A and B are shown apart, each in its own frame.
Chain A
Amino acid sequence: MSLEVVLFTVIATATGLSALTVVLSRNIVRSAVWLLFTLIGVSLLYFLLGAEFVGATQLIVYVGGTMVLVVFGVMLTAQQQFLKIRTRPQEWVVGGILAAALCALMVTVSIRLGEGRTSPPAEPMPGTGQLGIGFLTTYLLPFEIISVHLLVVLIGASYLARAKRRSREAVARD
Chain B
Amino acid sequence: MTELGLTPYLCLGAFLFACGLLCIATKRNAVGILMGVELVLNAANVNFVACARYVPSFALEGQVFALIVIVLAAGEAAVALAIILNFYNNHATVDVDTADELKG
Contacts and interface: CB of A to CB of B under 8 A. Distances in A.
B25 A15 contact: no
A73 B32 contact: no
A39 B64 contact: no
A106 B54 CA distance: 18
A99 B18 contact: yes
A37 interface: no
Interface string A55-71: 00110011001100110
B26 A73 contact: no
A110 B16 contact: no
Nearest to A91: B26
A95 B33 CA distance: 13
Nearest to B16: A19
B34 A70 contact: yes
Contacts of B53: 49-51, 120, 125
A76 interface: yes
Interface residues of B, number: 73
Given A1-B2, A110-B11, A153-B78, A54 B67 contact: yes
B99 interface: no
A10 interface: no
Interface residues of A, number: 86
Nearest to B76: A153
A58 B27 CA distance: 25
Given A73-B85, A95-B22, A62 B35 contact: no
18 contacts: A5-B1, A8-B8, A15-B12, A51-B49, A51-B63, A58-B45, A62-B38, A62-B74, A77-B30, A82-B29, A99-B19, A118-B3, A121-B56, A126-B60, A146-B71, A149-B75, A154-B78, A157-B82
Q: Which 10 residue pairs of A and B lie closest in terms of their CB atoms, listed nearest first?
A: A114-B7, A110-B10, A95-B25, A106-B14, A103-B18, A160-B82, A153-B75, A114-B6, A161-B82, A118-B5
